[in-house]
Amino acid sequence: MANKTHLSIGLMIMSAMVCLSAPKLYAQNRAVTVNWDKTVSVSKTTPTLQVVYNPMLRKNSPIHKGTFDALKNLGADYVRYVPWFPYPKAAVVELSAPTKEQTFWDFTYADPVMQDLMEATKGHSVVINFSTIPVWMFKTDKPVVVDANPDEVNWVYNQGRELRDPSMKEVAGYFARLLSWYTKGGFTDELGKFHKSGHYYNIPYWEVLNEPDLEHRISPQLYTKIYDAVVTELKKVSPKTKFVGISVAHETNPEWFEYFLNPANHKPGVPLEGISYHFYGRPASDDQTIDSYQYSFFDQANGFLDRVRYIENIRKRLAPHVFTQINEIGNILQDHDYKGVIPDAYWNLSGAMYAYIYLELTKIGIDVAGESQLVGYPTQFPDVSMMNWKNSKPNARYWVLKLLKDNFGPGDKLQTTAIPSQDVTGQAFITAKGKKLLLINRRNKEVQLELPADAKNARVDYVDVTTGENPVAQLQLESSTITLKPFAVAVLTFQ
């Protein structure tokens, strides 16, 4: 990143000609302008991340320590933790239906990572989502076999469309005992036997299921019945816990929001407290390169943001008190087992897209913007990872999140800002730590900007293609000009 711009003689002549023809217009159109006296809105958005269970989080993993150190050092709130179906032994703590003589509760694989997560996030809020209903609770053609190896991925565990107990008591009882295990020191099973855990965690948020529109292809109507049954029982276990609903993968079907957010569709007394949904940018075709990703990703992000505004209108009309957590934001290049070469600059591009969406969500008024996900690797969405699974170093996606988290949060004032470049998105904030300007280069090229006069001597914290897997870099401006490297995310702190 350059501090000063040295123009060639030819460029100086061209600039002079332009200045002579329209000096005021040139100055107005080429410089970033900020009105520090005019507040547009006040942010209530928290930048954070999700952690998805997989074997790389276990203590025998070579990146275990680096991963949980990175999580602890981030110090984020609203960290979403999702043990999910591809690893049934960790995600499902009752893999077989109880008999008249025996139950099959087993926390052997669920507990260690949950303990590590709660330790790494101590002092910060978490959103826990044991997302998988035991498959034996569904009607299936034949029993679903679970591999003895806990690290063996099982993409076909979630089978069945219809619960065997339409009253939902079986499902609700399962999750109530699971929550009791982690908050009440244990639970009493179906046969009256007490199982002691020794866990007394404070769980401020619990999310009910994950991507029900994909997992079991659940309808909004059935999901709402499950939510009501589960939340009714979990409130008895942990009255102070708040619950997050919907959690759909695809936010394109308004029926989910129209139905779930309508209090008339819920049982009396069931609280509507929060909703969530997800977004992943993808290449428009498999043969695209990173030069094309930059357009596909940001175009899709803009489409997603339009849908967020539409969903917000539904929420405000039906349940204005409900908060929103968009808790999976990332990019997927193909599928869960992408085998192509991932260019180094991809991590910066994906980080820049997250920063862009975070910024726009602050303008819309969303409560939580969660980047996905802490650890991915081959077979487990390698392109979504915030950690390098080979050397346990955080990548640029992580460092962008840390940059945002360390500089911005709820209560920040968004000031009137104008950015002259079509390639750069920016926003000025008045924060508890002073005046700041967030700049995001959405393109795979350098972009130079003239800054307001008071930007001279500003401190610049940045992540770009030159910082790699290193922490957020810093420099001091010596002039009011800045050059943003490809996919740079930079925060200027004014003196």
- Residue 350 and residue 298 in contact, taking contact as beta carbons nearer than 8 Å: no
Residue 146's pLDDT is 94
- Residue 277 and residue 211 in contact, taking contact as beta carbons nearer than 8 Å: no
| 218 backbone dihedrals φ, ψ, rounded to 5° | -75, 140
- Residue 325 and residue 367 in contact, taking contact as beta carbons nearer than 8 Å: yes
CA distance 263 to 265: 5
Helix, coil or strand: residue 41:
strand
DSSP 380: B
Residue 287's pLDDT is 87
**How distant, in Å, are the alpha carbons of 130, 269, 326 from that of 323?**
20, 18, 10
Residue 2's pLDDT is 40
* Beta-carbon contacts of residue 278 (< 8 Å; ≥ 6 apart): 211, 247, 248, 249, 251, 326, 327, 328, 329, 372
Angle ∠(429,431,434) on CA atoms, nearest 5: 95
Residue 106's pLDDT is 98
DSSP secondary structure string for all residues of 312-337: HHHHHHH-TT-EEEEEEEEE-SSSTT
Burial class of residue 296, CB neighbours in 10 A (0-12, 13-18, 19+): middle
Characterize the bridge pairing of strands 447-450 and 481-484: antiparallel
Which amino acid appears at position 152 of this protein?
A: E
Residue 441's pLDDT is 98
**How distant, in Å, are the alpha carbons of 107, 129, 161, 205, 415 from that of 177?**
12, 14, 23, 16, 48
**How distant, in Å, are the alpha carbons of 73, 467, 487 from that of 444?**
30, 15, 6
- Residue 362's region, left for phi above 0, alpha for psi from -120 to 50, else beta, is alpha
Residue 280's pLDDT is 98
Q: Looking at 278-387, list the stretches that DSSP marks H as alpha helix, in order from N- to C-terminal side.
A: 290-318, 344-364
- Residue 45 and residue 429 in contact, taking contact as beta carbons nearer than 8 Å: no
CA distance 364 to 372: 20
Which amino acid appears at position 477 of this protein?
A: L
Characterize the bridge pairing of strands 194-196 and 186-188: antiparallel
Q: Which helix (H) or strand (E) holds 426?
A: strand 424-431
Q: Which two tokens stand for residue 261?
A: 């957010």
Residue 216's pLDDT is 94
Residue 376 has, within 13 A of its CA and on its CB side, a CA count of 26
Residues of the chain with pLDDT under 50: 1-29
Burial class of residue 130, CB neighbours in 10 A (0-12, 13-18, 19+): buried
* Beta-carbon contacts of residue 72 (< 8 Å; ≥ 6 apart): 119, 120, 121
CA distance 359 to 365: 10
* Beta-carbon contacts of residue 469 (< 8 Å; ≥ 6 apart): 388, 391, 393, 394, 395, 396
Q: Kindly report the pTM of this predicted structure.
A: 0.92
Q: Which helix (H) or strand (E) holds 447?
A: strand 447-450
How many other β-carbons are positioned within 10 Å of the β-carbon of residue 476?
11
